[in-house]
Amino acid sequence: MEERKLEVLRFFVSPKDNKNEKLPLYNVEGIDLFDNLFTNLIPFIDDLPPDERNKRIVQFGKTSTGATVFHRKDAIRSVSGIIETGKYGKEENVVDINRKKDDLPVFRMMKNHALQKPFFFLICISSKKNEGLIFLEREGLFGIKQVFTLVLSKYISKNFPEKSFHFSNFIDDKFVKKFINEGVYNKIRLVRNSLPEDVAEKYGLEKFNTDDFVLELSIRSKGKRRIGGSARKRIQEIFENNPNGFFTSDDFKKIGFDDEASIHVNSTYKNSSRTINLSDTLKFRPYYDIKVNITSTGHSDFKSIEGECIQLLEDFNLDLY
């Protein structure tokens, strides 16, 4: 299994002349958006021309038999699938790492070639509220938030010309607060993605670029022991926007951790474990860490990541369907 992230967005549809009015998603101009998306999203994306401005192409992922990876679950009113996207417009060599470095490239990508990377998505269309949720897979620094929301915006404009699509980051404070205040802490991980020169010298690193190194410190419980004391209290204070944050001791700064570092807390609440990322602004990012099975091609197994996504949706307990 490997770690992935799910980026969660909240969305709604409004009249173009009143962007503050949130229309019921089950009745947009008398049409249920759930059925509409399942029927029309595949042909819409199949017909999308390449984005010449951003030099990007978007398409649905397919199985080994050529079937489009796109499903619906009536119980939770969701459509899910795989979106593949990549950039074109540059000539680049593809090399075989098992060959000698002076061997010729095995392939040369031309300007009209795009290396497509697959990402999981799930859209939950509420039957009770005027907002829905979008879950998007992230792998490291790579994600599809920008391209996917642009596609959905174009889709709404085409299918509902008088309506507009809106989205924002979703952070469920009540959900997170339960893990922070009532959960059992299993691990606290501090991460600094770049090192100042004086700290790098302490670690015996000579010439370097500031982004070449990542500094991590993990505090992990063993056996039945759990993390408590002032460390737990500091995490809870961060949740309440304590400006001093976790790094109140100068000892942290001496080894390279300060308010530019990020904090990851793994907590268990009601037999469910989640890793919650705190950003350097002391707010939670809309990313939720999950672990998924990996296919032979090195990508997330669809059933595995869909199951994790549905579990997260149910954990939110938002009464959307």
pLDDT band at 282 (very low <50, low <70, confident <90, very high): very low
pTM above 0.75, yes or no: no
As a 3-state breakdown, the chain gives helix, strand, coil percent values, each rounded to 5, of 25, 35, 40
Q: Is 76 helix (H, G, I), strand (E, B) or coil?
A: helix
Higher pLDDT, 202 or 318: 318
193 DSSP 8-state letter:
S
pLDDT band at 64 (very low <50, low <70, confident <90, very high): confident
Helix ranges (H only) for the chain are: 33-46, 145-159, 173-177, 197-202, 229-239, 250-254, 302-316
Identity of the amino acid at 48: L
Every domain of the chain and the residues it spans: 2-170+286-316, 175-277
pLDDT given for residue 29 in this prediction: 94
Spatial contact of 321 and 32, defined as CB atoms under 8 Å apart: no
pLDDT band at 230 (very low <50, low <70, confident <90, very high): confident
Strand partners, 82: 120
pLDDT given for residue 50 in this prediction: 86
Query: Token digits for 105?
Result: 């490239």
Q: How many angstroms separate the CA atoms of 43 and 36, rounded?
A: 12
Nearest alpha carbon to residue 7 among 125, 167, 114, 115: 167
Q: Which phi and psi (to 5°) does residue 265 adopt? A: -115, 120
Higher pLDDT, 247 or 72: 72
Model confidence over 42-60: pLDDT tens digits? 999 999 998 888 888 899 9
Q: What is the mean pLDDT of residues 96-116?
A: 81
Give the CA angle between residues 256, 138, 185 to the nearest 5°: 55
Residue whose entry in the numeric block shows the structure tokens 């699938």: 81
Query: Token digits for 190?
Result: 């501090």
How, if at all, do strands 262-269 and 163-169 pair? unpaired
User: Please, what is the average pLDDT of the chain?
Assistant: 84
Nearest alpha carbon to residue 121 among 169, 84, 94: 84
Model confidence over 76-89: pLDDT tens digits? 999 999 999 988 78
